[in-house]
Amino acid sequence: MNKKIPRIYVDSSVSSAMFDEDDHPEKTRAFWQAVINGEVRIIASDVLRDELDDAPVHIIDFFDDLPKSQIERIESTDESNMLAERYIAEGIVGESSLNDCKHVALATLAEADVLVSWNFKHIVKLNKIYRYNAVNKLLGYREIEIRTPNEVINDET
């Protein structure tokens, strides 16, 4: 029986933490090793790509060297932008966190198995997760699982 390979949406915090000794490097490395080993497949959006364009070159190079077969690329749409704006209108986060909302919206619309992030202020925070999912439910979208990389790897491997 073939095991389903999880589709995991990643934000830029997961890429940058790979090289930040103060920010969960060993847990992040285990996540990326699972990607390289074909145990998980990542969903990478245009929002992630735009954020990576501002990152140090070694982070961009690392991401660009990942196996292309393990990356599903998606683009923002009017629908994803509307959903992100709705999260802000509902007061989940402020307007300065629009990209965080775009990540949640894109993961929701892509029907990712989970969104992984190290952003504990705007994304991986229980009351925020409840509120994102309340908006999703109100608008007829599915709920999105939001976790840290190590939670996903501990469950998947």
pLDDT along the chain (157 residues), means of 10: 86 85 76 94 97 91 94 98 98 97 98 96 97 98 96 66
Sketch out the chain's domains with CATH numbers.
Answer: 7-156 (3.40.50.1010)
Look at residue 23 in the predicted model and tell me its pLDDT.
Answer: 59
Look at residue 24 in the predicted model and tell me its pLDDT.
Answer: 66
Look at residue 154 in the predicted model and tell me its pLDDT.
Answer: 63
Look at residue 45 in the predicted model and tell me its pLDDT.
Answer: 98
- State pTM to two decimals: 0.93
Q: Which residues have CB under 8 Å from 157's CB, separation 6+?
A: 30, 34, 39
Return the residue matching tokens 């992984």: 116
